[in-house]
Amino acid sequence: MPYDPSNIFARILRGEVPCHKVYEDEHTLAFMDIMPQAEGHTLVVPKTPGQDIFELPAEALAATIRTTQRVARAVRDAFEAPGVMIAQLNGAPAGQTVFHLHFHIVPRYHGKDMRMTSGAMADPAVLAEHAARIRAKLG
């Protein structure tokens, strides 16, 4: 299936759909997941179009993982998480639902089981506050 430029992340990148931005540089954008698995659940997307890890050029993938590492540190510190799950899914059988490569950064805590999707929309005011906490740690 070819890349669909009308996917939600492509629309966010073009500014057609709002997001709670955490970080942006010339190659990537990080923003709050609107169906978070935990407080601080953040997504990192490349600005280069590509459905999955197999389509994205290596240079764009390298920039995306650098941003993922940087933002993951900020998420961990902002939410005092003893663990952080980084997830990246490729193809519908793997659970991918938005076909623009992206990394999930999810704070994890002892004794709290989590699924990959909550299925519930978060309060935008809460997402805005979470994004601010992470931005503060990014400096």
- Point out the catalytic residue in the list 20, 102, 104, 130: 102
Annotated active-site residue 102? The verdict is yes
Concatenating the DSSP letter of every residue in 57-94 gives -HHHHHHHHHHHHHHHHHHHHHTT-SEEEEE---SGGG
CA dihedral 76, 80, 81, 85 (to 10 degrees): -20
Burial (CB count <10 Å: 0-12, 13-18, 19+), residue 115: exposed
Catalytic residues: 102
